[in-house]
Amino acid sequence: QQQQQQQPPMQQMQQQQPMQQQPYQQFQPQQMQQAPAPNAQAQPNAEDIDPMAPSFVVPPTPGGSFSSPCRAEFTVQALGLHQHDSITITLLSGPQGSSISTPITSNPGSTIFSWEPAAQALQAGSSTEQACFQAKDRTGLTRNKCISVTVTGGQGCFEQQQQQQQQQQQ
């Protein structure tokens, strides 16, 4: 008995209970289902973007949103990571009437985005639209950035716009 007590617990179990064998079961493969095709229109995830692609510089580029009372105007800047890089920034999409200045193609590359909603929209109040930009380096790598742009509007903006139009007519 002393020998059994000194044995490790696993050996004691093996001595007390004989091992039971399971009957052999033949493997039955299940019918495989085809995975759905990837969506070709899907936007790339952050991990899909080459780490050497140009990066937007925040600031001066707004982080995710920009707000202004009567007119939106801000700098968009991106930096290339390759030696002797030159970065070109383009406006992929934006609100009607928005524009960018002639991009400065250098490293960093930059442009100025501007948007003034129509008079009726300014008078009605706040307008929020999305502007999307693309930075492209000399090797063809790209990175996109979208910014939510809000122009708060109001009566003061409408009057300011009328005064500018009158001055231009004179």
CATH of the domain at 75: 2.60.40.60
> Does residue 100 sit within a domain?
yes
Cβ atoms 145, 110 nearer than 8 A = no
pTM of the model: 0.66
Examine the pLDDT at 122 and tell me if it is beyond 80: yes
Domain extent, residue 115, equals: 51-169
Percent of the chain with pLDDT over 90: 46
> Does residue 39 sit within a domain?
no
> Does residue 131 sit within a domain?
yes
Query: Please, what is the Cα angle at 29 between 27 and 34, to 5 degrees?
Result: 160
Query: Please, what is the Cα angle at 130 between 61 and 60, to 5 degrees?
Result: 5
Examine the pLDDT at 168 and tell me if it is beyond 50: yes
Query: Please, what is the Cα angle at 156 between 155 and 157, to 5 degrees?
Result: 90
Please give the C-alpha separations between residue 60 and each of 36, 64, 99, 142, in angstroms, as whole numbers.
42, 12, 17, 19
Output 37 or 50, whichever has higher pLDDT: 50
Domains identified in the chain, total number? 1
Find the distance separating the first CA and the last CA of the chain, reported in whole Å: 116
